[in-house]
Amino acid sequence: MPWEDVKDILRPEEGLVHMGVMRVDTSKCDKCELCMQNCPFRCWTKDEEGYPILKEKYACFSCYNCKVACPNDAVIIVDSYHVDDGFWKTEPHPLPAKMPLEPKDADGNPTEWNEIEKIVINRRSVRNFKDKPVPEPLIQRVLEAGRFAPSAGNCQPWKFIVITDKALIEEIDKVTSNILAMMYNAYIDDKAVKNLVPMVEGPPRSVAGVDPRVILGGMGSITENEDAEPSLYAPAVILLIADERSIGSPQINIGICGQNMNLVANSLGIKACWNGFIAAGINFHPPFRKKFGIKQPWTCITSMCLGYPKFKQEGIVPREFRPVAWFREGAEEPEIQE
């Protein structure tokens, strides 16, 4: 594929990609630094007075993990991540960030969130874990939640590999970090980036690995920060392996399965984080595929890091809101909910 055909994907025009912008209300901030610790991409540093400020160069995609960790509600959203134009354009841009709409009962009257809703809305990806093992009986319950997930055609195209051996997790981290560094360094190099062209050929979903948020944020933070490891120093990692022949797609089935596992982990007091980078380390390193017995048509779709949280990392934050089209009985045109 010619470079000009994919240039818009691998080299978004300068000035079109806008990272999220956050700031701290110094009248509320007690300099606890939890916002800095809970930022997955290490966007924050400290000013001369010790207050958190965004670095001169950073990659924020508006996850608001910094905001949810703050005990004093001192973190303020100034602007959300958005792309003005080109292949990665966000529509509309910037997408409005809204808190959950108020719950109502079947008659339209105000009511309270039920327990399932509370778990779903408060769940956040946790990336800061205690150095404390997760008991195997609890891991087993998480696995059972995945095993009993629905799947297309009841094909149940999954199997799980649980890793609690610290030395093995460290080995996976090392290999994965090297793979991510090669990708990131190629992406930021004007000449080497053309070697990534084969990655974006094929279906639209094949470009997901070169989204600016993945490359500049995720891969960049791991490559440029010595204390950042793909496994997040989690005491337990579960590999989610899927049969590529699965009905629908392996990604959809594993997504359903993994979300069951994620929510049950949270209900047990364990916290979890989806982790696609480790899957790259497994799939692109033949010795790992051999060690874990992953043979075609099976592949590692993603992984889940489990552990006990170091500090509070869950809670409600705004989410992007796209207009919803309602086609109601008797209406000639849809009503757009904004």
For the chain, domains (ranges, CATH) are 13-98+319-326 (3.30.70.20), 121-307 (3.40.109.10)
Q: Which residues pair with 239 in a beta bridge?
A: 161, 303
Q: Is 183 helix (H, G, I), strand (E, B) or coil?
A: helix
DSSP 104: B
Whether the pLDDT of residue 14 is over 90: the answer is: no
| Residue 305 pLDDT grade (very low, low, confident, very high; cuts 50, 70, 90) | very high
Give the containing element (helix H, strand E) for 185.
Answer: helix 166-188
Q: How many Å apart are CA 271 and CA 305, to the nearest integer?
A: 8
Burial class (CB in 10 A: 0-12, 13-18, 19+), 11: middle
- Predicted local distance difference test score (pLDDT) of residue 309: 97
| Residue 114 pLDDT grade (very low, low, confident, very high; cuts 50, 70, 90) | very high
Write out pLDDT tens, residues 232-274. Answer: 999 999 999 999 999 999 999 999 999 999 999 999 999 999 9
- Predicted local distance difference test score (pLDDT) of residue 230: 96
- Predicted local distance difference test score (pLDDT) of residue 97: 85
Write out pLDDT tens, residues 143-184. Answer: 999 999 999 999 999 999 999 999 999 999 999 999 999 999
Is the Cβ–Cβ distance between 270 and 134 less than 8 Å? yes
- Predicted local distance difference test score (pLDDT) of residue 277: 96
Whether the pLDDT of residue 204 is over 90: the answer is: no
